[in-house]
Amino acid sequence: MDLFDKCERFLNDPSYATTLGMPASPAVAERMGLYPYFIPLEENEGTVVSVKGRRMISIGSNNYLGLTSDPRVRKAAEDAVARFGTSCTGSRFLNGTVALHRELEERFAEYLGKEDALVFTTGYQTNLGVLTALLGRGDIVVCDKENHASIVDGSRLSLGRMMRFRHNDPSDLERVLRSCPEDAGVLVAVDGVFSMEGDLAPLPETVELCRKYGARLLVDDAHGIGVTGRGRGTAAEFGVNDEVDLIMGTFSKALASLGGFVAGDKSAIHWIKHRARSLIFSTSLPPSNAAASLAALEILESEPELVDRVNETAKRMRGHYREMGLNVGRSATPIVPIIIGDAMEAVKLWKAVFDSGVYTNVAIPPAVPDGKALLRTSYMAPHTDEQMEQVAQVFASLTGS
C-alpha cells in the first residue's frame, strides 16, 4: 500500500475523517465555507485583527495583557536584533546560549520563587523535554485527562508509563496514586489553567495527595503566568508555590513573545538541562524573543493593574453569557468557553459570529471531548468596554437572548 493513500483519502473521501476521530472532513468544511482554521490575519493590533481587509474585534487571542503591541516590548526586540542578529543558529548546548537567555532564566526563577529555570524554544518542546528527561523505565506519570497535548505527547515519548485520572477529580487522582508501585518514581502532571475551558486545577488537594504518596508535581501554567496569582501563576493563586516541584510556563501568551521555560530546584533543572533532547537538539530561542519576554515581565511587575483589568473583563463577559443562558462551564480566567456540545452546531455559530465581525476560535473533537464542542473566547487587558458590549450584542442576537 502507498504510504500517501491515507492523505488522498483524507482530502477526497468525506467519510474518512470520521475514522480518524474527527467529526467532519476539513476539505468538505472548506468547500462549505465553514472551515475555521488557518485563517490568515493581515494585521493584528491586539484587540482588532484584519481578515481580507475587514477589521474585526478579536476575542480569540492568548495575548492576555495586550503586550505584543506595547512599544516597550517591540523596542526591546528591535534592540536585540541589532545586537545579536535574528538567530542564534545553534542549540543552547553549543553556540546558542546568549546572555539574554541566562538573564531570562534568572529573572523567572526569582519571579516564581524557585532556585533555577531553563528556557526552551517553545512551550511544546518544554513539556516534551521535561517529561522525557525525567521519566525513565519503571517511572510513572499521572495525568489529568484534559491535560494539554504537549504533556500527553511528552508522556508517551518518555520511557515511563502514563496513567490518567478524571479531570480535576482529587478522589480519582488518589485512586491512581494508590495503585502505583512503591518503588516507582511518580510525577503528577496537570495544567494550572486548562486551555480550552479556562478552569483551574485544584492544586491544594493535588499537593496534599502528592505529599501523601511521595509523588512530585509538575504544573503546566502556560495560561496562568501573567493571569492568575497576581501574575505569578496558579500555584501562587492557591498559596502552594513552594509545594509545586516544577512550574512550566510559556512566553507566547501573556508575555507577548515565543518560548517556554521550566522552573524548580537547581538539581532538577541541572538534570533536565543535560538530558532534554528537545533542548539539546533544537536551535535556541531567538534573542529578540528573549528580550521581548524580559520587557514583558518588567511591565507585568510594574503594572499589576493589567492583570486586574483582564480578569475583570472576563468576569463581566461570563456574566453576560450566563444571562443569555449560555454554558461557560467552570471558567475562572480570561478563557471563557461557550459550550455548544454538537460539533457542527459549534462551527455554525462560529461562522455566524465571524460574519458578524467578531474573531474567535472553535474547538471540536478531538481537541475537546466528544459532546463538548465549544467556542473558545478569550479576553485581553486592552479590550474596551465598548468592544465588549459589541461582542455581547453579537452573541445575544445570534442566540436569541
What pLDDT shows up at residue 1?
A: 86
Instruction: Supply 308's cell numbers.
Output: 486586574
Identify whether the C-beta of residue 135 lies closer than 8 Å to the C-beta of residue 158: yes
- Alpha helix (H) residue ranges in 239-304: 266-275, 277-280, 287-302
Q: What are the residues facing 247 on neighbouring strands?
A: 219, 263
Please identify which of the residues 148, 223, 273, 372 carries the catalytic annotation. Answer: 223
Contact 206, 223 (CB under 8 A): no
- Is 150 catalytic? The answer is no
Catalytic residue among 195, 282, 331, 378: 195
List Cβ neighbours of 271 (8 Å cut-off, separation of 6 or more). 133, 134
* CA 272/CA 266 separation, integer angstroms: 10
DSSP assignment of 315-377 equals HHHHHHHHHTT---TT--SSEEEEEEESHHHHHHHHHHHHHTTEE-EEE-TTSS-TT-EEEEE
> Which strands, in side-by-side order, build the sheet including 246-250?
116-120, 260-264, 246-250, 216-220, 186-191, 140-144, 161-165
Kindly list the distances between the CA atom of residue 156 and the CA atoms of 9, 179, 276, 367, in Å, as whole numbers in the listed order.
Answer: 27, 20, 15, 17
Residue 66's nearest CA partner among 51, 35, 45 is 45
Q: What is the C-alpha separation between 48 and 286, in angstroms, rounded?
A: 27
* Domains annotated on the chain, with CATH: 36-59+304-399 (3.90.1150.10), 70-302 (3.40.640.10)
The three cell numbers locating residue 96: 546558542
Catalytic: which of 148, 253, 320, 372?
Answer: 253
Active site residue 253: yes
Residue range 63-108, pLDDT digits in tens: 999 999 999 999 999 999 999 999 999 999 999 999 999 999 999 9
Q: What is the chain's pLDDT, residue by residue, as a tens digit (401 residues)?
A: 899 999 999 999 999 998 988 888 898 889 888 999 999 999 987 899 999 999 999 999 999 999 999 999 999 999 999 999 999 999 999 999 999 999 999 999 999 999 999 999 999 999 999 999 999 999 999 999 999 999 999 999 999 999 999 999 999 999 999 999 999 999 999 999 999 999 999 999 999 999 999 999 999 999 999 999 999 999 999 999 999 999 999 999 999 999 999 999 999 999 999 999 999 999 999 999 999 999 999 999 999 999 999 999 999 999 999 999 999 999 999 999 999 999 999 999 999 999 999 999 999 988 899 899 999 999 999 999 999 999 999 999 998 76
Rounded to whole angstroms, how far apart are CA atoms 120 and 258? Answer: 9
Give the CA count within 13 Å in the CB-facing half-sphere of 109: 18
Q: How far apart are CA 132 and CA 150, in angstroms?
A: 11
Strands 260-264, 246-250: pairing is antiparallel
DSSP 8-state class, residue 199: P
Residue 367 is placed in which grid cell? 481537541
Contacts of 95-99 with C-beta under 8 Å, sequence gap 24+, read 96/283, 96/284, 97/284, 98/284, 98/287, 98/290
The secondary structure of residue 193, as a DSSP letter, is: B
Element (H, E) at 55: strand 54-58
Q: What integer pLDDT is reported at residue 400 of this predicted model?
A: 79
Report the run of H or E that residue 178 belongs to, with start and end.
Answer: helix 170-179
